[in-house]
Structure 1
Amino acid sequence: MDKHLHIVSFDVPYPADYGGVVDVFYKIKALHQLGVHIHLHCFEYGRGEQPELEKYCTEVHYYPRQEGHKGFSLQLPYIVASRNDEELWKRLNADEHPVLFEGVHCTYGISNGAISKKNIAIRLHNTEFEYYKQLGKWESSLVRKAYMNHESRLLKRYEEKLKDHLILSLSKDDCTTYRKLFKATNIHYLPAFIPTSMVTSKTGKGNFILYHGNLSVAENEKTATWLLEKIFRDLDIPFVIAGKNPSDKLVELSHKWPHTCIVANPSETELNDLIQKAQVHILPSFTQSGIKLKLLNALFKGRHVLANDAMINGTGLENACQKANNTTEFKYHAFRLFHKEFTDDDIQIREGLLQEQFNNKKNAMVLMRVLQ
């Protein structure tokens, strides 16, 4: 019997160039390889229609996100209220196929009763209320800070209402939070779907330490600034920052010391080259949420990874990383790892951890099994 699945995506999942859509896109590819007929529904707000998706989906539908005041609600989080489309709910109700909602973002139809079917699941990308609360701490704009805090309060109330549905979380820690805080009983860990399961890290030694990320995101700019001012101002080791759209302030700061620099807007090829040539990937995070693509990139392609609890806890990858949680620990381990050769044994340990957990085919089979 043919298997069908509706997937409702918070954004157009191609190109797969940031964390959330990477999971969606490679999930679609893995399901397609299993022979699943995918009915994809995307909220579109700037990425445009993507013919590439038609290679893997039986049908692809696009719906406009109601941005600005049109998507505002006093009762619902903006990320939810702005993703409401009557045509979408009608299509989902028109057959008996199961539905996977990608993110809390897409669940408006559940909350208002527009979805009548029972065979549905929610892919939890973050504990969203906590994520927005943490983002608010790092916002310099008072208006943005107020928005993040308001959204966090609405999300906490909203996420509690989803507790009785089948939830598939990217993070073990998020599973724990939902169980403890919301008393959720039907939540399960399903690892991220990723571009490759092959470790391509090179043995030997590189000659710089790397931090990479989307530098237009407030948290990432704060992290890069913290690394420059608190770690590498005193640690005389070559340090490279790479990422999209750095601010003029960050560019200026990165040139303050002779051993630090920044690579703005690297191409995918350039970034992969930096990742493979670096000796250490230094990845602190100030928000604990899901699993970050840059961590997986570093583990699959790079040498030593140095990260804190917020970056690695709940990912199942703790044993593949060196942990540090304050400036003293980051300095000590950055210096130690910079002089420590990366060996075949290191690669074998990493391959064992990654290939056991991040097996797209196996995880796609698990997904279809729990949705039946």
Structure 2
Amino acid sequence: MQLHLHIVCLDVPWPADYGGVIDMLNRIRAFNRMGVKVHLHYFSYNERGVPKELNAFCESVHVYERRKKTECLNLSLPYIVSSRVNQELAEQLSKDNYPVLLEGLHCTGIIPFIGGNRMICVRMHNNEEVYYKELARATSDLFKKLYYTTESRLIKKYVPTLPKNLLLACVSEADVDFFKELGFDNTFLLPTYPSWQEVNSLEGMGTHCLFHGNLSVAENEEAALWLLHKVFNKVRVPFIIAGKDPGRQLQKAASLCQHTCLISNPSESEINDLVQKAHINVLPNFNKNITGIRLKLLHSLYSGRHCVTTPAMVTGTGLEPACHIGSNSNAIASIISQLYYKPFEDEEIKLRKQLVEQTFNNDKNTTQLMQRLW
């Protein structure tokens, strides 16, 4: 019997240039490899356009406009949800009774319009209430801080109103526990879908320290600035910051450090090259409340050498044994000083293979997801 599946994405799942899109795109590809006919629906609201590449993995592709803030006057719904309630999408989904995979809490506003007895699964990329609270904490922009704080409060009120029989696929055990406590009994762990399926880290010595991520996101900008001001002013080794859309503050701070290079909007192949050639991938995180998992951490463990981070990045992931963890700037600086002249060895590669290759096996996890959908 031929299997069909609707997948509704919060954003254009191409190119795979940030964590959420990498997770979505690799899931689409995995379903395609399994022979599932994917009917893709996504919201186009930025410069990402309408990429033809998605046609290679999908039976059909439908594009919708995300509503602007001025069109979303429903103050009981978070903007990330209300802006994606779309009548045309509801009509498309109502033409059949195929299972629906909603990518992110963002897409759940459509549920009341496509109900009935059909199977609906929501991929929870993280606990959005906590995520937006942390964005508010990390940013210094007063307008953004107000927006993030408001979204967090609205999300907290909205989530308990969702149907309790929904399938919720979470990326971490902590998120599973959170949603089960809210009464969502059909919550289960579905690890994130990295682009890397085999550890290909290189032994020996690399050439630089690297921090990478979407630099337009407040928590990543905060981490990069912290490294510049608190760590690499103490450790004089080559330091590269690479990522999407760095702001003026970060550009200026990087330009003042003689041993630092800022690479804006690198391609996927450039990022892969930087991660693999680095001697140390440095990935601090300062979230007080932990949710989800960061794909840049997995990228570093699959492809890089030494990985240095803070407790918030790895707590509860099971990846702690593969990382060097410091809780403050002095500890991070000391770890970097020790590791910079220490070769990366085969024993560490073997440990990583044990930790990541089974847990984040995309085909295996897709097979388990299919058993729940059909």
TM category (shorter chain) comes to: over 0.9
Q: Separation in 2 of the partners of 1:354 and 1:302?
A: 13
Contact 1:72 1:82 survives alignment (8 Å): no
Q: Separation in 1 of the partners of 2:72 and 2:366?
A: 33
Contact 2:97 2:118 survives alignment (8 Å): no
- Pairing 1:9–2:9 present: yes
Q: Separation in 2 of the partners of 1:64 and 1:316?
A: 39
Contact 1:179 1:185 survives alignment (8 Å): yes
**What residue is the counterpart of 1:368 in the other structure?**
370
Q: For 1:85, give the aligned amino acid.
A: N
The offset of 1:238, in angstroms, is 2.4
Flag the 1:3–1:114 CA change in 2: closer, same or farther, 3 A.
Answer: closer
Residue by residue over 1:1-36, the C-alpha shift from the partner in whole angstroms, topping out at 9 and shown as x without a partner, is 111111111111111111111111111111111111
**What residue is the counterpart of 1:266 in the other structure?**
266
Greater CA drift, 360-369 or 215-224? 215-224
The offset of 1:280, in angstroms, is 0.7
**What residue is the counterpart of 2:144 in the other structure?**
144
Q: TM-score, normalised by structure 1?
A: 0.94
Q: For 1:158, give the aligned amino acid.
A: Y
Matched residue of 1:220: which SS? helix
Q: Separation in 1 of the partners of 2:268 and 2:186?
A: 38
- Pairing 1:170–2:166 present: no
Residue by residue over 1:110-161, the C-alpha shift from the partner in whole angstroms, topping out at 9 and shown as x without a partner, is 2x45432341111000100110011001221222111111110000111122
Contact 2:93 2:114 survives alignment (8 Å): no
Q: Separation in 2 of the partners of 1:338 and 1:295?
A: 19
**What residue is the counterpart of 1:103 in the other structure?**
104
Matched residue of 2:214: which SS? coil
Q: For 1:335, give the aligned amino acid.
A: S
Q: Separation in 2 of the partners of 1:27 and 1:44?
A: 19
Q: Separation in 2 of the partners of 1:198 and 1:128?
A: 30
The offset of 1:53, in angstroms, is 1.2
**What residue is the counterpart of 2:325 in the other structure?**
323
Q: For 2:286, give the aligned amino acid.
A: F
Matched residue of 1:148: which SS? helix
Q: Separation in 2 of the partners of 1:34 and 1:289?
A: 30
Q: Separation in 2 of the partners of 1:224 and 1:176?
A: 31
Residue by residue over 1:182-212, the C-alpha shift from the partner in whole angstroms, topping out at 9 and shown as x without a partner, is 2432211101112120212110011321111
Cα-Cα RMSD: 1.7
**What residue is the counterpart of 1:70 in the other structure?**
71
Matched residue of 2:121: which SS? strand
Q: Separation in 1 of the partners of 2:24 and 2:257?
A: 40
Q: For 2:294, give the aligned amino acid.
A: K
**What residue is the counterpart of 1:193 in the other structure?**
193
Q: TM-score, normalised by structure 2?
A: 0.94
The 5-angstrom pairing of residues 153-302 of structure 1 reads 153-162=153-162, 164=164, 165-180=166-181, 182-287=182-287, 288-302=290-304
Flag the 1:85–1:113 CA change in 2: closer, same or farther, 3 A.
Answer: closer
In structure 2, which of residues 293, 307, 310 is the aligned counterpart of residue 308 of structure 1? 310
Q: Separation in 1 of the partners of 2:68 and 2:116?
A: 26
Greater CA drift, 126-135 or 190-199? 190-199
The offset of 1:329, in angstroms, is 2.2
Greater CA drift, 228-237 or 5-14? 228-237
Q: Separation in 2 of the partners of 1:97 and 1:334?
A: 52
Q: Separation in 1 of the partners of 2:358 and 2:280?
A: 24
In structure 2, which of residues 336, 339, 364 is the aligned counterpart of residue 337 of structure 1? 339
Q: Separation in 2 of the partners of 1:8 and 1:278?
A: 36
**What residue is the counterpart of 1:350 in the other structure?**
352
**What residue is the counterpart of 1:28 in the other structure?**
28
Contact 1:89 1:115 survives alignment (8 Å): no
